[in-house]
């Protein structure tokens, strides 16, 4: 009996020890807890953590950049044994540097996903592992792809439908995200690149909808009065596209026929709009960036430093969805599913893997 008790005690102690030594990565999610994109992104992070045996907690900042810093302070103030090893951060509203420094003072490392340092921040504060010593790296989707692909698709379809104005040119209105978040800025650059390739397309006006459906609705109402010949509506996310769509329908316009809209993200609502034709163009796949970051942190912790590929990685993740791809996406990823074998992408678990491949289209095959 004593022998059995001793074995039981040793087993329990080993389990507690294993739990205490397990890698822990927390995520400060900048989005709202009812926001489709950021909920989906958080679900993917959680799925990767579960597969990789990583202890994980998530905290929603509810689109409040000050709340991001409050959460960072609260994690840093925890007793040492309850602090995470790493915190996954974004650079929404330029919170990355401040949050990383708060965590650094508590001995917590950080990793930036979705959006990393701006050039001017890097020049002022230094690079990861240098000026920002506890920030071990970053992984960004190549966001300019999203702006470019959707703009090109809008222009192509606008020409096909003959939506030029009285001057023979296509007129486009742009609903951008915000003025400071890197992903917003890069999507705008993609839009501008597409416009530069097509001088017969006129950007009548660009406004900043702050990613909000309600704000985009109001903005589109007065944009329609100011620019009646605009037939193309480019949006930096799906929610603003739907706000614009509501305003257009209220004005008697028919999305997919006499006006065309684009969006970015992979909400079920957006996929259904692609299938029905109400959204002319949609890109997405970048919601996986946080999950891929978990793979990179896991590898770093297990002796496979990603520095050989670069400390600040920008990887292609966006795909342009047509109707068949949207249907395939809903079948595989709808209702919060994340059917991905994250272990297969780890260099630590697959020593023959030399480079990370985070393209989303491979997950739809």
Percentage of the residues of the chain whose pLDDT score is greater than 70 = 94
Q: What is the CATH number of the domain that holds 129?
A: 3.40.50.2300
Lowest mean pLDDT among 5-19, 157-171, 188-202: 5-19
Same-domain check for residues 119 and 165: no
The residue from 254, 284, 314 where one domain ends is: 284
pLDDT of residue 335: 83
Q: Does residue 328 fall inside a structural domain?
A: no
Q: Does residue 10 fall inside a structural domain?
A: no
Same-domain check for residues 30 and 133: yes
Q: Does residue 2 fall inside a structural domain?
A: no
Number of folded domains that form the chain: 2
pLDDT of residue 21: 59
pLDDT of residue 1: 45
Same-domain check for residues 168 and 274: yes
Same-domain check for residues 314 and 235: no
Instruction: Look up the pTM and report it.
Output: 0.91
Q: Does residue 13 fall inside a structural domain?
A: no
pLDDT of residue 334: 87
pLDDT at residue 283 above 80? Answer: yes
Same-domain check for residues 266 and 300: no
pLDDT at residue 156 above 60? Answer: yes
pLDDT at residue 287 above 70? Answer: yes
Same-domain check for residues 280 and 340: no
Q: Does residue 193 fall inside a structural domain?
A: yes
Same-domain check for residues 112 and 170: no
| pLDDT tens digits along 237-246 | 999 999 999 9
Q: Does residue 33 fall inside a structural domain?
A: yes
Range of the domain at 63: 23-141+286-322+335-364
Same-domain check for residues 124 and 153: no
pLDDT of residue 158: 98
Same-domain check for residues 278 and 158: yes
pLDDT at residue 292 above 90? Answer: yes
Q: Does residue 237 fall inside a structural domain?
A: yes
CA distances from 108 to 72, 332, 340 (A): 10, 36, 28
Same-domain check for residues 154 and 278: yes
pLDDT of residue 13: 36
Same-domain check for residues 83 and 46: yes
Same-domain check for residues 186 and 82: no
Q: Does residue 8 fall inside a structural domain?
A: no
Q: Taking residues 338-364, report their average pLDDT.
A: 95
Computed over every residue of the chain, the mean pLDDT equals 93
């Amino acid at each position: 009996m004593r022998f059995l008790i001793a074995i039981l005690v040793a087993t329990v102690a080993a389990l507690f020890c294993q739990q205490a030594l397990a890698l822990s990565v927390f995520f400060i999610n900048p989005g709202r807890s009812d926001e489709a994109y950021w909920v989906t992104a958080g679900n993917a992070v959680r799925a990767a953590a579960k597969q990789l045996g990583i202890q994980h907690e998530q905290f929603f900042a509810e689109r409040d950049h000050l709340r991001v810093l409050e959460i960072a302070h609260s994690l840093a103030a925890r007793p040492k044994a309850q602090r995470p090893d790493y915190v996954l951060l974004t650079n929404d509203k330029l919170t990355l540097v401040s949050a990383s420094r708060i965590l650094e003072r508590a001995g917590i490392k950080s990793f930036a996903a979705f959006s990393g340092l701006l050039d001017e921040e890097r020049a002022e504060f230094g690079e990861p592992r240098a000026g920002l010593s506890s920030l071990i790296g970053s992984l960004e989707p190549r966001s300019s792809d999203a702006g470019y692909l959707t703009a090109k698709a809008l222009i192509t379809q606008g020409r096909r439908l003959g939506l030029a104005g009285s001057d023979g040119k296509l007129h486009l209105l742009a609903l951008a995200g915000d003025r400071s978040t890197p992903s917003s800025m890069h999507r705008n650059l993609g839009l501008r690149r597409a416009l530069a390739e097509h001088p017969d397309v006129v950007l009548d006006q660009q406004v900043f909808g702050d990613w909000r459906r309600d704000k985009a609705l109001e903005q589109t109402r007065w944009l329609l009065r100011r620019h009646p010949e605009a037939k193309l509506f480019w949006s930096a996310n799906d929610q603003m596209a739907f706000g614009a769509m509501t305003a257009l329908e209220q004005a008697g316009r028919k999305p997919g026929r006499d006006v065309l809209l684009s969006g970015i993200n992979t909400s079920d609502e957006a996929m259904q709009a692609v299938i029905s034709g109400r959204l002319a163009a949609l890109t997405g796949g970048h919601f996986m960036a946080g999950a891929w970051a978990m793979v990179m942190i896991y590898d770093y912790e297990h002796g496979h430093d990603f520095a050989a590929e670069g400390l600040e990685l920008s990887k292609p993740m966006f795909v342009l969805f047509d109707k068949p791809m949207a249907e395939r996406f809903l079948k595989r990823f709808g209702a919060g599913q994340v059917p991905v074998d994250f272990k297969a992408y780890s260099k630590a678990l697959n020593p023959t893997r030399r480079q990370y491949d985070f393209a989303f289209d491979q997950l739809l095959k």
